[in-house]
Structure 1
Amino acid sequence: MKNLKKIDLFNFNLEIGKVRPYIPLYFETFGQPVGSAPVVLVNHALTGNSTITGENGWWNDLIGENKTINTNDFTVIAFNIPGNGYDNVFGNLISDYKDFTILDVARIFWEGLFHLNIDELFTVIGGSLGGAIAWEMAAQHPTKIKNLIPIATDWKATDWVIANVLIQDKILNNSDDPIADARLHAMLLYRTPQSINQRFKRKQNNVFEVENWLTNHGSKLKNRFRLSSYKLMNHLLKTNDITKNRKDFVTVASQIQANIHIVSVDTDYFFIAEENRETYQNLKKIKENVFYHEIQSIHGHDAFLIEFNQLATFLSPIFNTQNTHKYVNA
């Protein structure tokens, strides 16, 4: 059962110059009380939310008691991106979704942390959209994070990502069944032809099984997600760029003191591994504490939600408390 807490933010200045009079920031905490243990911030992906572990937790395989991110040892926090609708308060949805950027979301998350008297983070981790927010958080406060773990993501939106965001936006604004139809397109970005062909093998019972699978994904998302939320989360994906109004990537990244663990998926057709390998090679020239891990999977982008054993292998040394120096929040 979700146990949402709320932080009230007032007169928040958006990147585009507008002022948002009020933003409610909902979140959940897991494990140790705030202020008593190192803090791990988990950023959710496009259709995700703050329930990362426990009942209906979407990352139960990695987070919990005696798991890779052990809630016996850490305070784990997850914010809901404002407007994702998880609080079920209709008035908190955001209709002017193009006013917001990932830079705004990262600042909102930092404001939430400062409200909780958290000035440093042991780790910021997130997949896909959540990982992009993690990159921006590190760019905004380069000395306040010990471990930065962006998974299946990038520090910038490539032309390929921007193009697909446009297609999603067109579907969401023009389809008679926008959430379901947009989800059908998105699922083909999140998986691979090999994964789908291997799973369904052209089987059919009146209709092809792959068609049923896609239709069910669309229906399930429509039942739990709001249209305005989908529009906002999709739009955020194209606003990711830690060099915007800053200097070049190497200069910006050189200020980030965190250990950077880049995790990509070899078959990711959305945030492609080649981009992450290039990022790693550029970072190696200026940082010693940068590491690259690659999930090997047939499943594409969604492998970060499927290949838990590989992910746990990469993450376990980071979260092994025997290797963790004593850490106290400022």
Structure 2
Amino acid sequence: MEAAIEEAPFDGLADAERKALARCRHAVLGADRPLRLDCGVELGPYRVAYQTYGTLNADKSNAVLICHALTLDQFVAEEHPVTGKEGWWDSLVGPGKVLDPARYFIICINVLGGCMGTTGPLALDASGQPWNLRFPVVTVADMVRTQAALLDHLGIPDLFCVIGGSMGGMQVLEWAASYPARVFSAVPIACAARHSAQNIAFHEVGRQAIMADPEWKGGDYRQHNTVPARGLSVARMTAHITYLSEQALQRKFGRALQDRDALGFGFDADFQVESYLRYQGSTFVDRFDANSYLYITRAMDYFDLAAAHGGVLANAFKGTPTRFCLFSFTSDWLFPTRESREIVHALNAAAANVSFVEVESDKGHDAFLLDEPEMFRTLAGFLKGAAAVRGLKDVP
């Protein structure tokens, strides 16, 4: 089975995707060599949207790939073209920060199946119609193959570092397993080598909320000029709870009331936490596509690195030359520390070069996106050591 997209880069796009493409780089790949997906479909040509920061040095040894999480995108360290908010990893990427564009050539790629410029269900097929649910199901491995193809296109043979959290961490692990010779160092943060039953369950609740929305129209909502806003909003609200911790919710909201002195005895947002979740849901609809949410959550659900290597996780890293540094957070119940330790044990069994830090934090899973000094100090030290081993110039 073969699949193709319309090559015209801006025709028929949703407004958010159009704004994203106008602010980032993109390449159309796969015209001569289609991408064979895990589901058996050959996809090509396909578009890859990405953003870069810094300059690639003469020997192409300073490239750092940032892999983004489920609902994030390529706009790591700049104002987002849709929301107007600062970059999602501004705390880590920027002048004088751990990932300084003056030292590294930083790349972040919108994942396959996404809605910020890279081909996904919003893309047009060969007939000029949006793929919607006819788009082939993709995996994390497919996302990484797309990224590798872009690096080939850019003439970047290997990467000094691949780093990412959550679904981004899954991509980091896939990179290390599939392209070990191209990854000098890898930093998987707050992730796991396979998606747990609990996490699959939360994703299914979100998907069912979207598909139960009457405006979803079986995935063809764009043709009906509708948006399944209520369903997508509920999906976001549900997921957002998993990104936080009980301590963080209690500290930030407790049982404080929202704009009132007494209970309303109805179903408006009596509590501040209710109002907060409703806001998170409503603003998410403005920047993310509902069908993309279905596809990307499914890609995470399918991720099982051990299953792809004979049922033994250590086999994924056998003989790896990559240097690893893993991070987990004490209050992260979405990807708890025990799952990071399983990866560390597998790396140890494969005799890999690995270090691991469990960061004390009460901020939950979202801690990897926030100002966590211990993580920053440890990461800076790891990168400095890796740069010294590689002989990377201009990295103190």
TM-score with structure 2 length normalisation?
A: 0.77
Aligned to 2:176: 138
Q: What SS does the aligned partner of 1:311 have?
A: helix
Evaluate the alpha carbon distance shift between residue 58 and residue 174 of structure 1 in structure 2; reply closer, same or farther with a 3 A threshold.
Answer: same
Q: What secondary structure is seen at the aligned counterpart in 2 of 1:64?
A: coil
Among candidates 249, 261, 281, match of residue 345 of structure 2: 281
CA distance in 2, matches of 1:28, 1:94: 25
Question: Which residue of structure 1 aligns with residue 48 of structure 2?
Answer: 25
Structure 1 range deviating more: 135-144 or 90-99:
90-99
**Equivalent position to 1:212, from 259, 264, 275:** 275
Moved more, 319-328 or 118-127: 319-328
1:94 positional shift: 5.5
- Specify which of 147, 152, 169 is matched with residue 185 of structure 2: 147
Residue 16 of structure 1, CA deviation: 1.2
Within 5 Å, give how 1:1-330 maps onto structure 2. 3-10=23-30, 11-33=34-56, 36-55=60-79, 56-87=86-117, 90-91=122-123, 95-96=132-133, 99-175=137-213, 177-204=230-257, 205-206=259-260, 207-247=270-310, 248-320=312-384, 323=388, 325-327=390-392
- Aligned partners of 2:46 and 2:360: how far apart in 1? 40
**How far apart are residue 88 of structure 1 and its match?**
9.4
* Shift, 1:84, TM fit: 1.9
Q: In structure 2, how many angstroms separate the alpha carbons of the residues matched to 1:79 and 1:88?
A: 8
Change (3 A) 1:324 1:62: farther
Cα distance in 2 between the residues matched to 1:98 and 1:266: 37
For residues 14-68 of structure 1, the C-alpha deviation after alignment (integer angstroms, 9 at most, x for no partner) is 1111122321001111111365551000011111111111333211111111210
- Label 1:88 to 1:151 Cα distance change in 2 as closer, same or farther (>3 A): closer
What do the CA deviations read for 1:264-310 (whole angstroms, capped 9, x no partner)? 11111111111112322332233251111112111211111124322
3-state secondary structure, aligned to 1:293: strand
Contact kept? 1:192, 1:300, Cα under 8 Å: yes
Deviations 1:124-183 (A, max 9, x none): 001111110111111111221111111111121122222222222212211351111001
Structure 2 CA distance, aligned partners of 1:203 and 1:20?
51
Letter in 1 for 2:297: N
1:226-261 C-alpha deviation (Å, 9 max, x unpaired): 112211221111121223342321122223221111
Three-state SS of the structure 1 residue aligned to 2:200 is: helix
CA deviations over 1:199-239 (Å, ceiling 9, x no partner): 11201034110101000100110111111221122111112
Change in CA separation of 1:280 and 1:37 when aligned onto 2, cut-off 3 Å: closer
Which whole-Å deviations, capped at 9, do the CAs of 1:94-122 have from their partners, x for residues lacking one? 53366111111111111111111111110
Cα distance between partner residues in 2 of 1:308 and 1:221: 25
User: In 2, are the aligned partners of 1:171 and 1:178 still within 8 Å (CA)?
Assistant: yes
Secondary structure of 1:48 counterpart: coil
Determine the C-alpha separation between the residues in 2 that align with 1:4 and 1:34.
21
Larger radius of gyration: 2
Distance 1:6 1:34 in 2: 21
Distance 1:201 1:68 in 2: 34
Partner Cα separation in structure 2 for residue 324 and residue 75 of structure 1:
18
| Equivalent pairs, count | 328
Query: Does the CA-based 8 Å contact 1:317-1:323 persist in structure 2?
Result: no
Gaps of 5+ in 2: 1-18, 80-85, 125-129, 215-229, 261-269
User: The residue matched to 1:65 in structure 2 has which SS?
Assistant: coil
1-side partners of 2:319 and 2:211: how far apart? 40
Q: Structure 1 stretch 171-180 or stretch 70-79: which is displaced more?
A: 171-180
Closer/same/farther in 2, CA of residues 94 and 280 from structure 1, 3 Å limit: farther
- The 3 A distance-change label for structure 1 pair 94 and 53 is farther
Answer with 266-275 or 89-98: which moved more. 89-98
Q: In the aligned structure 2, how far is the partner of 1:120 from the partner of 1:156?
A: 25
CA contact (8 A) 1:12 1:19 kept: yes
Identity %: 25
User: Is there any run of 5+ residues in structure 1 with no aligned partner, and where?
Assistant: none
1:14–1:88 CA distance, 2 compared to 1 (3 A): closer
- Structure 1 residue 80 displacement after superposition: 0.6
Q: Which runs of 4+ in 1 moved over 4 A?
A: 34-37
Q: Is the 8 A contact 1:12 1:21 kept in 2?
A: yes
Which structure has more RCO (C-alpha within 8 Å, separation ≥ 6)? 1
Looking at structure 2, the residues matched to 146 and 302 of structure 1 have their Cα atoms a distance apart, in angstroms, of 27
